[in-house]
Structures are given as C-alpha cells and as structure tokens.
Structure 1
Amino acid sequence: MGNRLLILIAVVFIFVLNCNTAQSQYVYTASSRFVRLQEALTPQSGHLTFYNHLDLSTSSEGYVGVQDFIAQWIVRNSMVMDYSVTDNFLLAVNANVYQDIHLLSEEASTPLDHLILSAKLGSYSFANDFFYIGFLTSVFIPVSDYNNIYGVPYTGGGTEVGFNILLSYYADNLFPRESLCFTINLGYYNYFDKDNSISHKETNPYYVSQNSSSINYGLGVKYPTETLDLFLEVWGNTFMQQPPAIAYSREDMAYATLGFKVKPISFASFTLAGDFLISGDKDETLYDDGIYSVYHIFQLPTASPKNTPDWRFVFGIQLNILPLNQLTASVDPRAVELTSENQNADIIKKLEDVRTDKTITVKKIDELTQKRKDIEKNLQLLRQILKDSSSEK
C-alpha cells in the first residue's frame, strides 16, 4: 500500500507541475487544516469554527512618485465560518470583507467584495480506514460591481460554481487527525461570466462571449504534532475555456504553499505561511495603455509591470467555538499509553481525558475493549492448553 501511495503522489505532483497551475485559490472552510487545500475529513457533528484569513504581497517599486517609488500592495482579508451539521456534512460561508490592490485611482473593496457559500461531504473511509474521500461544492456570489481585477483570481461578474473531489491518506487509521496526512484535490470551476462586461470603461463595455471554466487541483502533505502542524501544498488551476484577452489573471500558473500552524491552546490556532510562484509568470493579458485606451486595461504596476505576485504572505487565526468543551485543556490521543499491565479501570480513565473528539473517543474505547476481550480469550485458551499438557505428563 505504501509503494502504491508514493507512486500515486508522484504522478499527481508531476501532473500538477506540467499543467502550469494558476492563481490563488479561495479559503472555503474555517476548519480546514491546510491553507489552499481541503482534507476529506470533516469535523464531528456540532462543531462551529471561525477563521480569519489575511494574505498580502508587495512590490517595492510599484509606481513612480514625486521623489521616490511608491510600493504596490495587494491585501485581502476574508472571514470564514463553518458548522458541522452531521459527522459527514458541513456548511460554510466566506465573506471577503477587505480587498485592496492599492491602485492609485481605485479604492478598496469594503466592507464586502464577495461571498462564498460551500457545502462539504466527507469522512467516508475505505481501505481499513487509511483512506478517506470527500466532496466540496461552492458558490461564489459577487457583491462589488468591480470585476476583472489585477493581481487577484479572475472574476467576470457572474455567480461562479465549483465542485471538488477530495482524497486523503492518513498514516494512523486509529487517530487520523493526529497522523501524517497526504491530500489530493481535483475539481471543476465555471465562472458563468457570459454576457457580463469586464471593461473598466463604463462608456465602452466588453462583453464575454462564452463562459470561462477551469480545472483546479492540488497535492498537500501535513505533519501534525501536539502543538505544531507543518504543511506543504502545490496547487492551482488550468483554464479549459480561457477568459477573454483583456482579462487579468487569465494565465495558467503554479504555486507552492509552505507554512506551519501553532496550537498553543485547544480552542485557538495561528497559521503562518507563504505562497511561492513556481511557474506561469508569462503575461497573457492584452493591454490597451495610452491616452486612446479603449477598455482601460492597463499593465500594472506601472513602474515594474508584473502579471501575478511572485509571493504572498499568509496569516490566519482559527477559533473553535463549539463544542464548549474545547475551551478546556485536552490530551493528545497519541499520548495514551496502553501496556499489558494496564487494568480496565486505568485504560478507561486515560481515555476519558481525550475530549477533543467525543465520537472518535467512544469508537476507540470500543475497539480497545474488544481487543482486550480477544486477548483475554487467547490467554484463557493458552492456560487451558498448558493445563492439559501438564495433566498428560
């Protein structure tokens, strides 16, 4: 199984790089333990999670000022909330509350640029609980009238819809949330931008002739510990139907995300990560700069044009609101030591301290109880064999 998994991961990794994947993915759920990808596992029923996501990039020589260059900043902040309706079904909402490309002639999109509504089915295991599969569907609802924006994922003013298949492998099938994880995402995204104008000049609209669409995919690995999670992701999308020539962010690109999550207390964690451009920095937008500009699609930033950032800084804060018992200290399930000298009362007492996930705790207690019964039966059988052997002598 291990060799097959490594071969599968290698194939997907090569596929991702050769397809020249694209611009920044959105954050769809608050409880995700990756930055750009989604695990197939979902939180247990009744979990309510909040996540604040900030990403930014900058170019020190963006615009020519009076005496010196003016930096170009691209800053986005979104707030995400999700709730586990059942053990296998989760609902989420993402509100992009601030988006600013610091273009000299434009203001920031605030208090709301867009909403993303998502539904996730997951935690369906197979192969002896080492593998999990899940599904994510999302609806992007534009709120701001301003679309086709430089430096951020392409939007054409339509209500966008996406669907993803999620596959995760966990090295420990008893405690998957605390084990090494490999995750693969593959999905389809339709921008539904047909008949919408992406021109920046109101008196001269440019209407999209057909819906743009893309395939998005990614590969990630996560190594969790009791207080720190490390993760690496390679992700993006490639356009099936490319946006019009005057669209920003119409290129296929590849990014890698490297970072860590600090978990100082059971109900809060902090993420620090960086997105790094791997390939796809060739600019494919058709600009019409100059005084006779038709659509006001300018090459930006003017002092050092760059179609997409070489890097982004990511900072996130996750708060586990429900259930309330997450506000108390919890014990890492891997810290529970089970030896042949343990008595039933000792085992139960130790497992009762594992409060992070009630359902899994109960399941593990049942499994351990059954294993203990099997061991006791084998010991009883062995005693009987030894007794019979002694009688024959």
Structure 2
Amino acid sequence: MDMNDFMQKALVSRRRFIIGSALGVGALGSPGLVRPALSATGYSMASSIRSLSNAFHAAWNKGAESFAQGVGDPHSALVTEGNSEKGIADIKAFLAKAGDKAILGVDPNDSPDARPIVEAVASVKGHIVTVWNKPDDLHPWDFGDNYVAHMSFNGVPAGEQTAKVLFESFGGEGAIVALGGIPSNVSAIERKAGLMKMIEGSNGKVQLLDFQDADWDSAKANNIVAAWLTRFGSEIKGIWAANDGMAIGALEALRAEGLTGQIQITGVDGTKDAVQAVKNKEMAATVDWDPFWIGGIALSLGHHTATGVFTPSKEPQEHREFYGTGALITQDDVEDYWRNNVEGSPEVDWNDLWGRISGQIRYG
C-alpha cells in the first residue's frame, strides 16, 4: 500500500499528520479536561499499566485519574512492571473487592494476558476496555457487554513515517541501528514491520547494522546504544526506536559521547521529554498517541456502559474494536505542537466516545 494511503493531513496544527488505521482522521487533545455530566455511582476504577516511571503510562494514569475524579469514583493504578503474572494477579485481587462495580482500562503486558483478564472481569460482571494487546481471536462481542471495547493504534504507519523522517535526516543513504519493544507485543511487531518495509523500499540505500529488543526500557536501550557506538562508531547515521522511552535512553548514550544532534533518533509515544528533544533538534520525530486521553477514555467507555448510558452490544463492531489516532511530530512542526499541546491545554470531552476512532481493527 502506498504511504499516502496511511496518512492524511489534519487541521490540528500546521503540517501535523494523523496516524490511525489505513485512513486515520480525527483531532488530538491533551491534558485538559471537560468533566463529564455523570454522577458518582459507587464504582471502583483501575488502570493496569506497565510502570509509573514510564512517561507514556504516567500520562495514561493522569488521564484515568482525571476522569475518575470527574465522576467522583476512586481510581487505582495497578502496575505490572512488565510481569504478566503480577498484572493478572493484581487485577483479580481488585475484582475480588470491587465485584460488579469494577471498571478497568487495561494495557495487557503481553497479548495472551488479555484472555484470562477479560474472563475474570466478565465472571464478576465488571466492565473492561483493553488497549494495544490481545489475541486476534479475542473479541469484545463474544463477552456481551462486559468486555466493552478494545482500542489499538496501527503501528505499521507509525514505524514507516518515523523511519522516513530518520532516513531524510541523513540524506537517505547510510546505515542505522534500531531498538525494538517486547518481541511478542502487538505494537512492537507492527512498528518493526513499518521500519523494515521502509528499509526494503530504500533499495539498498539504507542498511540496518543491528536490531535489538530493549523491551520498551530506557536503561536497556542506553546500554545497547553505548555498545553500538563502540562497535559501529561513525557508521551509525541514525537510531530508530519503537518508543520514546528507548529513544531517550539512546539520546543519553549519545550525550555521554558528545554526539547529540550529530546522530538523529526517532521514537513513538509523544512523551514530553521526546517532544522537547525534537524541539532541541536532538530527535528527528516522534508520534503522539495522547496517553492522557487513552487512560481517561478507556474508563469513560466502561463507565458509560456500567451506568447504562449506552449498550455495547447494540453498537456496530467498529465501536468495539477500533484504531485511535496519533500525530507525527517533526522538527518542522514541533513549535506549533509545543505551543498548542504543551504550553496550552486543549480540552478533552470524555462524553465524546467515538470522535477519535479511525476505523475498525483489521487482522491478517
């Protein structure tokens, strides 16, 4: 598929691009908040995420807390620290207390984790929205209304577009190194596929010196890049990273060698540190998924279902398995992005459940 099929220009700010499904459209918000017109009803909310030291999930947690505060219900952060058994055990402990009043937004640590988590929530008649990871044959409509929805983001165009910007940063000819996420993670697989497609499409002009999985971890990425700098030296013209955490780890390794700005880096997630690095011309690009919105809208979908505002089983399948939207941020448009989304505070309407979906998830 041609690259233009993946991307459409949005009117959010000058030269920003929306990345979603094959034809991503929509608007992107930031940590502003319109409190929903809902009243507290005694529900207990939780977000199962990897780590609060991870900038993406820290922002996710803030969005979830903002929604929960807006409706007056308690919220808990269930941190997996990358341990699937811990993640599942913590959710089951939460369900044991909350029962059918449980509302969860969950980023399963690994795709197979989603099934036992969803089954546990459905067994107590709670409500759950999953994000990013699940098996292809696990669907919300197979669980009535308890499995409200699954949201993901098409990582292939994100991997392609960040690779494209990276290649352009060194003139389109040279060698790169690349950092992957957790190998079995859906978003890691998709983003790598996008990168590899762009390398293949370069017709030999761009070579991949090495690809290593750093498991989304900044410290691991730092160590890997430090070793690459020793091994490959000036052969490295760019560093592609599957998320911003690893990109920042790579940047720290470059700083230690006095190489910032000389070797460009790309990441994905749109964390503040990464956007600042793009602004400083230390990174070439990142993609903003707006984790604040993800954390809040996951709970909003569950809360709207639990309180009877809408019935998932009466909705079309595109409202139950859907791609969200993301925005490519480059050095060309980062000033606009910074002014509108970091210094400014666009509002988020938590009652707008479908405004940012960009199509039903497709498999295979």
TM bucket (normalised to shorter chain) is under 0.3
The one of the two structures with greater contact order (alpha-carbon pairs below 8 A, sep at least 6) is 2
Identify, as 1 or 2, the structure richer in helix: 2
What is the TM-score with the length of structure 2 in the denominator? 0.27
Larger gyration radius, structure 1 or structure 2: 1
Bigger share in strand: 1
Normalising to structure 1: TM-score of the pair? 0.25
